[in-house]
Structure 1
Amino acid sequence: MSLQIDESVLKNVVADVLRKLQTQGAAPTIAKKDDDCGCSCNGACANGDYGVFKTASDAAAAAKEAQKKLRKLGIEGRDKVVKIIKATCAEKSVEWGQLEFDETKIGRLEHKIAKLQGIPNLPGVEWLSPRGMSGDHGITMEENTPFGVVGAITPVTHSIPTLSCNIVSMVAAGNTVVFNAHPKGARCAVVAIREFNKRIKSAIGIENIATIIETPTLDSFNELCSTPDVNLLCVTGGPGVVDAAMKSGKRAICAGPGNPPVVVDETAMLAKAARDIIFGAAFDNNLLCIGEKQVFVLDKVYSQFLSELKTAGAVGINGNQLDRLTKIAFTTDGNGGGCSHPVLNRDLVGADATKLAEIAGASAPTGTEILFAETDANHLFVIEEQMMPMLPIIRVKNIEEAIELAKISEHGYKHSSMIHSLNVVNMGLMARALDSTLFVKNGACVAGLGTGGEGYSSFSIATTTGEGITTPDTFTRRRRCVLVDSLQMY
């Protein structure tokens, strides 16, 4: 997810979108027909036209045949596909951002667009490099080879961006891919797959390098996991789908849930910390799995940090207002045994901060990016991955308490964490305690994925299975070829 953007660029993106919508009319929306996929194909999708199939088995079989053809084209062929995906995302970013926003109704339009504009920065075939060894006993070459067909599960939070990112990495590795998209983001995903297939077929004569199930269901997911034509699974989603994939019997690369904490100690540059936290947590209304979800602040700088949050544009709500919001944002669901657990109100996931303020009975100016409230460490907004632009702020006595409570709130997901500090000892203490896949020091969460920080990125961060930020290398097998002793050429 190497967006390579900052706040000023985002504002320019928004202005450009508004100008285009005013001069050209509203961006096209996805048709909602009952007899087709909604992409103006007049039912052709039912026949597997341009990568869209009725069943997982058909989609996987077509992708398997496409992978055989792709292998014959070698790395040069893969590179052509990757470049087509990147160029299409850049070209269609405004249109597809609007399509996804209209369908999912979560997040912020300008950030949907920005995510698609970041796809061209992802690693491609150049990421793969063989390793050679030569000595008295011969020559050995280790190289990356594809798995074959990857079955991919994508989330509603980043439907087209995750799909596009996965194609770049998986095809660069030599695989083809079948998608079972989240049902609430499937129609825009179908549009993207059809467009990709049209362009790829025109360029290299191969169709179905990326396929998708027209109407994704739990049954299609199970079918995708069980079909022998799928060699590898890649899941980007919540704990339920991750658990199911890992029990499928297939190798699974799983990007599971996160609940990233932030620690602010007494040495932090407080004004910068406030701006960074707002920028990361408010991005796409806190839909990012890496996004700042709860902030632990040392007592010595607690009041000053709250003041800096307000100066940076965050709007605070009081205890009564927080209670009203919490009652709507979470409910309890009995399990039949007399116990209950909190359930997130999905209608508020990715909602605007102004909507949350209205529910809380607070006042927030138009354009407010994020709310904040003082809470204890056991509040639902702290312990649940709530994906809303509302930051709970927790006062702590010292760095030890901050790190311990941060670790508890992260639930051992080992996903992402942040610290704002100039004390390297404190940085080290938190790094070792949380052992998270992404650990950002003195920056917004997105710095961990190349936006404001160095490095590459991906929308699939395999925390559960340990691969980390996925790249083309993630989706390859390692093969060793050995030429022995006297067969060397001197």
Structure 2
Amino acid sequence: MEAKAYIDSLIEKSRIAQKEFENFTQEQVDAIVKEIAKVVYDNAEELAKMAVEETGMGVYEHKVLKNKGKSKTIWNSLKGKKSVGIINRDAETGIVEIAKPMGVVGSVTPTTNPIVTPMCNAMFALKGRNSIVIAPHPRAKQCSTYTVKLINEAIKKHNAPENLIQIIEEPSIEKTNLLMAAVDVVVATGGMGMVKAAYSSGKPAYGVGAGNVQVIIDRDVDFDDAAQKIIAGRTFDNGIICSGEQTVIAHEDDYDKVIEAFKKNGAYYVSDKEEKEKFRNAMFINGALNKDVVGQSPQKVAEIAGVEIPADTKVILIEADGIGVEDVLCKEKMCPVMATFRYKTFEEGVRIAQTNLSLEGAGHSAAIHSNNNEHIDYAGENLTVSRLVVNQPSSTTAGGSFFNGFAPTTTLGCGSWGNNSISENFTYKHMINISRIGHYMADRVAPTDEEIWA
């Protein structure tokens, strides 16, 4: 079947399923949404193994944790939230809000997150009584398709309409573009080219921006504790998560102590000029990240660079030779490698972070390890990021956790800085239309002109 006829067929089936699903109650909807998460939780090991084997990226144990963690946190965040019928009555304003479906959702998913992104977007779409068609990355089509198959088998017992969740089994750029033009709303989680295509599809779209998480270490923290958290974040799934830490920005008087704390916790530190150049040349080709290092271990990255490092190295730290455009190491590195910087004042530390963000990653996320609320607020006010993660591993918490208030998700909006439509974590509320009833408030008194302009 040629591409257009194939996509037209998926859309037709999806619309039939959605129309039926639109009549489900909140309880029925939630039972299906919960089941989607439970399938990934219960099959975490098998799905993690498939993902690592097919994509050649990441770490099996970490993907198991991701499958279990995301399924738990996302369902927990959706549990009890109204998304069907009247969801809010505001007696003060006289506004009544009614949730309605958007229709058919098109979801473009990445090779870096081939299990939890389809799961997550299906949960959000169905929470709003939409249907969904998933366009997986071609290098992850088997594990993504198998995930959808398991989910569809499981939701049958809840009488879910057939074809409520579909996936393009043999994906291509042509099919993905046709899908995006045919659905009612697009969620694109992937490379910037695909996100741009989503915004150019002529349909409402939610996308993500590039990550390049800058990490500022303040002077008042336990450097050993900060190093452990940052390393945990940077090494998770071999650094392929967009919210993963990319730099270490420390005060010049503390720099050596900070580096020692990292070395004590498994870091290999590079300050030799020749060795730095070897890593630069291995990781970047004409300024673009070498795909061969993406999601690889520090040992593999070092091997590509022709540098010998200890077998137990967890992360590679490289002293940068400048900020922003002055050193390619200031860009996003999707592997367990970080660049390091010294600052004289806290304000300069924030300026270094912002300069690197202006090169790449504006709008995404930054992290700070500090006990100084004034410094934390200053960083929040002055960095062009949608989220600032405080005293946590950014990689595993910027997308929501049980210990912060970020909405659990796999799609992190980057605002206008990152050419995105939202500057928050994508969730179910972005998958519903809301009708508002405005009641006449007869007991209200209009203010006088004098009161208005006072």
User: Which TM-score tier does this pair reach, normalised by the shorter chain?
Assistant: 0.7 to 0.9
Report matched runs for 1:184-203 at 5 Å. Answer: 184-203=139-158
Q: 1:485 to 1:313 in 2, by over 3 A?
A: closer
Aligned mates of 1:396, 1:421 — CA distance in 2: 15
SS in 1 for 2:134: strand
SS at match of 1:127: coil
Which residue, 93, 96, 105 being the options, matches 1:150? 105
DSSP 3-state at the match of 2:23: helix
**Is the Cα contact below 8 Å between 1:274 and 1:305 reproduced in 2?**
yes
> What are the Cα deviations for residues 79-127 of structure 1, in whole angstroms up to 9, with x where unaligned?
1211211111111100000001100011111111111112132122522
Q: Is the 8 A contact 2:32 2:160 kept in 1?
A: no
Task: Work out whether residues 140 and 483 of structure 1, in 8 Å CA contact, stay in contact via their aligned partners in 2.
Answer: yes
Cα offset, 1:176, TM superposition: 1.1
- Alignment match, 1:7: none
2:374 and 2:8 map into 1 onto residues whose CA distance is 53
Query: Which letter maps to 2:72?
Result: P
How many residue pairs match? The answer is 422
Q: Secondary structure at the match of 1:462?
A: coil
Gaps of 5+ in 2: 415-419, 443-454
| d(CA) in 2 for partners of 1:208, 1:367 | 47
Partner of 1:347: 292
| Match for residue 258 of structure 2 among 292, 305, 310 | 305
Alignment of 1:287-306 (within 5 A): 287-306=240-259
SS in 2 for 1:126: coil
**Aligned partners of 2:7, 2:109: CA distance in 1, in Å?**
15
2:210 equivalent among 257, 277, 281: 257
392 and 467 in structure 1: CA distance in 2 versus 1, 3 angstrom threshold = closer
CA RMSD of aligned residues (A): 2.2
1:474 is matched with which residue? 430
Residue aligned with 2:311, SS: coil
Residue of structure 2 aligned with 1:120, choices 72, 89, 105: 72
SS at match of 2:300: helix
Q: Deviations over 1:434-484 (max 9, x none)?
A: 142220122211333444732341001122211511221121111113566
Shift of 1:140: 4.1
The structure 2 residue matched to 1:417, chosen from 354, 363, 366, is 366
For 2:440 and 2:119, the matched residues in 1 are separated by 42
Distance 2:16 2:122 in 1: 17
2:10 matches 1:59: yes
| Alignment pair present for 1:92 and 2:46 | no
Q: Which moved more, 1:392-401 or 1:84-93?
A: 392-401
Counterpart secondary structure, 2:25: helix
> What residue number does 2:274 align with?
320
Partner of 2:89: 132
408, 411, 414: which is aligned to 1:460?
Answer: 411
CA distance in 2, matches of 1:54, 1:87: 34
Cα distance in 2, alignment partners of residues 133 and 327 from structure 1:
59
Give the secondary-structure state (helix, strand or coil) at the position aligned to 1:468: coil
CA distance in 2, matches of 1:444, 1:311: 18
**Counterpart of 1:415 in 2: which secondary structure?**
strand
Please name the residue that 2:229 is paired with: 276
Aligned to 1:379: 327
How is 1:333-344 mapped onto 2 (pairs within 5 angstroms)? 342-344=287-289
TM-score (norm 2): 0.88
| CA pair 398-264 structure 1, distance change in 2 beyond 3 A | same
Change (3 A) 1:184 1:309: same
TM-score when normalising by structure 1:
0.81
Take 1:451 and 1:369, find their aligned partners in 2: how far apart are those partners?
24
* Secondary structure of the corresponding residue to residue 62 of structure 1: helix
What is the Cα deviation at residue 153 of structure 1? 0.8
Contact 1:108 1:285 in 2 (8 A): yes
* Partners of 2:5 and 2:308 in 1: CA distance: 48
Residue 30 (structure 2) aligned to one of 62, 79, 83: 79
Distance 1:260 1:346 in 2: 19
Deviations 1:373-427 (A, max 9, x none): 1112232121x22211011111222222211121121126211001122222221
Matched, 1:447 2:412: no
**Preserved contact between residue 400 and residue 409 of structure 2 (Cα < 8 Å):** no
Whole-Å separation in 2 of the counterparts to 1:417 and 1:358: 29
Aligned partners of 1:266, 1:483: CA distance in 2, in Å? 55
Where do 5+ consecutive residues of structure 1 fail to align?
A: 1-45, 47-52, 333-341
Instruction: Work out whether 1:428 is the aligned partner of 2:377.
Output: yes
**How far has the Cα of 1:56 moved from its partner?**
2.5
More displaced, 101-110 or 394-403? 394-403
The residue number in structure 2 matching 1:10 is none
The CA deviation string for residues 143-199 of structure 1, in whole angstroms up to 9 with x for no partner, is 222101111111111011111011111111111111111111111111111121122
d(CA) in 1 for partners of 2:131, 2:435:
19
In structure 1, C-alpha distance between the alignment counterparts of 2:121 and 2:312, rounded to whole Å: 33
CA apart distance, 1:70? 0.9
Tell me the secondary structure at the aligned position of residue 432 of structure 1: helix
Contact conserved, 1:269 with 1:420, CA < 8 A, in 2?
no
How far apart are 1:485 and its partner, in Å? Answer: 8.5
Taking the TM superposition and a 5 Å limit, the aligned residue runs for 1:154-173 are 154-173=109-128
> Take 2:6 and 2:265, find their aligned partners in 1: how far apart are those partners?
50
Q: 206, 217, 222: which one pairs with 2:172? A: 217
Residue identity over aligned pairs, in percent, reads: 28
- The aligned amino acid for 2:430 is T
Deviations 1:190-247 (A, max 9, x none): 11111211222243152211111112111112101222xx111111122211111112
- Cα distance, 1:467–1:375 mapped onto 2, change above 3 Å: closer
For 1:256 and 1:193, locate their aligned partners in 2 and report how far apart those are by CA, in whole Å.
26
CA distance in 2, matches of 1:428, 1:449: 20
